[in-house]
Amino acid sequence: EVVKRAVYGAVERGGDGTLEKACLLITALVKAGVLEGAELTKGMSRALRGLPDLCLDVPQAAERMDRVIAQGVREGLLAEGFKERFDEMAGSVHGIKVA
């Protein structure tokens, strides 16, 4: 639940600084052993399932979540397959593929 709330909070507020801070928080929790990889994946999956509803409130939600997920992949916290899953979900929400 921590991961989902951090991601949603950052996506709702927007801004590069907010998104970066959410990524830093999640990375720090994983590196400190507070959050395990499986928990991170589960939390991000929960956030991903809520993307269609979040997009109703925040039209830029898919693009912002894409940035958070891409950072997680770059940091080695999320598998590349997760990014692909997100791209499919974002495409079904908006009818486009997120870069």
Check which CATH number belongs to the domain holding 33 and give it.
1.25.40.180
Is 40 inside a domain boundary?
Answer: yes
Which of 89-98 are b and which e, b meaning 16 or more Cβ less than 10 Å from the residue's Cβ? bbeebbeeeb
At residue 81, the pLDDT reads 85
The pTM of this model reads: 0.79
What is the domain extent for residue 86?
A: 2-94
Domain count, the chain: 1
Residue-wise pLDDT for 5-63, tens only, equals 999 999 999 877 898 999 999 999 999 999 998 899 899 989 888 888 998 999 999 88
In a domain, 25, yes or no: yes
Q: What is the pLDDT of residue 26?
A: 92
Q: Which tokens go with 36?
A: 């395990």
DSSP assignment of 43-80 equals HHHHHHHTHHHHHHH-TTHHHHHHHHHHHHHHTTSS-H
Q: How confident is the model at residue 97 (pLDDT cuts 50, 70, 90)?
A: very low
- Res 10: pLDDT: 92
- Give a yes or no: residue 62 inside a domain: yes
Domain membership of residue 99 (yes or no) is: no
- Residue 20 is assigned to a structural domain of this protein: yes
